[in-house]
Amino acid sequence: MPHPDAGTQSETVVETAHAKVNVALHVRGRRDDGYHALESLFVFAEHGDRLTGVATDDGAIDLMIDGPFGAALDAGPGNLVVKAARALQAYLGQQRGAAIRLTKILPVASGIGGGSADAAATLRLLVRLWDVRIDEAELAAIALDLGSDVPACISSVTQMVGGRGERLARHHVDGLEGMAMLLVNPGVGVSTARVFAGWDGQDRGALDATRIDALVARGHNDLEAAAMAIAPVIGDVLAVLRAQNGVVLARMSGSGATCFALFDDDAAMADAAMAMRAAHRDWWMMETRIRIA
């Protein structure tokens, strides 16, 4: 079966699976269905994993994975890219297939929505490849069945997210979009389930995302302590980030272990990244900006 870039005459479509970052993540309680009730401000990086695809006529979903973190993933039916493709096929009664290449640039299981972003990018890619008409609510429902973060990753714009991920509202914070952002992962994976199980059960109040200074002063990630109990190196990453010049905010994203820092400008971010790479050669880093929709 043809793969993208293999010289087929079919149109090749490209999508970026933008990294998701929780600027703040407040856990408000545990729901009766076992999920946690969350309030979070999601932003998305300009960069992320890359998906390319070509349509095929045999109904097969053929996935090839490469990239720096490609070896950590299986290309079989359990992969979220394949699950997303099959879910869209089933919903549409679509008989067409696709050959998809996932270039895995983001670390796996790292709190920046890599798998969720890949699933969302797959849905966007296939809607374009197959030239189908589907409204936003229908696509969001398919996305939610794939994972709590997938609906927000469909649009990959700054938004307030509530419930377990089903309540989404586009959100603007003056000065936030376009900010320089450095992502840092210490090379350890943490289980989302274990981190949530370690949450201390304390409701620390609603998230105020009206201004950047409110996010800095009163925002937090309620999962940081639980994640650091599993992987203490997260605390080391945060300490190093917070010591850099020009840092506006440094915090863990999602359930970890990736942390992020927002900077006054690109130059301050570049200086911090250079210093940190020299001192911590085994840490993964990405210099990017918050995506402007």
Residue 6 forms part of a structural domain: no
Alpha carbons 51 and 102: distance in angstroms, whole number: 5
Q: What is the CATH number of the domain that holds 143?
A: 3.30.230.10
Local confidence band at 8 (pLDDT 50, 70, 90 cut-offs): very low
Which run of H or E residues covers position 61?
A: strand 61-66
In a domain, 3, yes or no: no
Q: Among the options 49, 62, 118, 149, which is catalytic?
A: 149
Q: What residues contact 192, with CB distance under 8 A and at least 6 apart?
A: 109, 111, 254, 255
* Residue 170: predicted pLDDT: 96
Cα atoms in the Cβ-side hemisphere of radius 13 Å centred on 201: 1
- The pLDDT tens digits for 223-262 are 999 999 999 999 999 999 999 999 999 999 999 999 999 9
Confidence class of residue 1 from pLDDT cuts 50, 70 and 90? very low
Q: Does pTM top 0.85 for this prediction?
A: yes
- For residue 7, being part of any structural domain is answered with no
Residues contacting residue 14 through CB under 8 Å, at least 6 positions apart: 50, 51, 52, 125
Look at 14-18, 144-148, 245-249 and tell me which has the smallest mean pLDDT: 144-148
CATH number assigned to the domain comprising residue 255? 3.30.70.890
DSSP 276-287: HHHH-TTSEEEE
Lowest mean pLDDT: which of 36-40, 100-104, 179-183? 36-40
pLDDT at 38: 94
pLDDT digits (tens, 9 = 90+) for 37-80: 899 999 999 999 999 999 999 999 999 999 999 999 999 999 99
* pLDDT at residue 130, rounded to an integer: 95
Together in a domain, 73 and 164 = yes
Rounded to whole angstroms, the Cα distance separating 53 from 99 reads: 6
Domain boundary among 170, 203, 227: 170
Catalytic residue chosen out of the listed positions 5, 20, 33, 236: 20
**Are 125 and 97 contacting, i.e. CB atoms less than 8 angstroms apart?**
no
> Is 4 part of a structural domain of the chain?
no
Structural domain range at position 253: 180-289
Closest CA to 15 of 118, 136, 158: 118
Distance separating alpha carbons of residues 284 and 268, to the nearest angstrom: 18
Which residue, among 177, 179, 249, has the nearest Cα to 219 in the 3D structure?
A: 249
Residue 28 CB burial class (10 angstroms; 0-12, 13-18, ≥19): middle
Whole-number pLDDT of residue 30: 87
| Residue at 64 is within a domain | yes
CA geometry: angle 58, 61, 67, nearest 5 deg? 140
Number of domains in the chain: 2
Question: DSSP H helical segments within 78-232, as ranges?
Answer: 80-92, 114-129, 136-146, 150-155, 192-197, 212-218, 224-230
Where a domain ends, among 123, 151, 170? 170
Q: What is the pLDDT of residue 4?
A: 57
Backbone torsions φ then ψ of 258, nearest 5 degrees: -70, 135
Q: Please check whether residues 243 and 111 belong to one and the same domain.
A: no
| Residue 170: C-alpha distances to residues 12, 122, 160, 162, 235 (Å) | 30, 22, 6, 12, 31
Q: What is the pLDDT of residues 21-33, one digit of tens each?
A: 999 999 999 888 8
- 20 as an active site residue: the answer is yes
Specify the pLDDT at position 7.
43
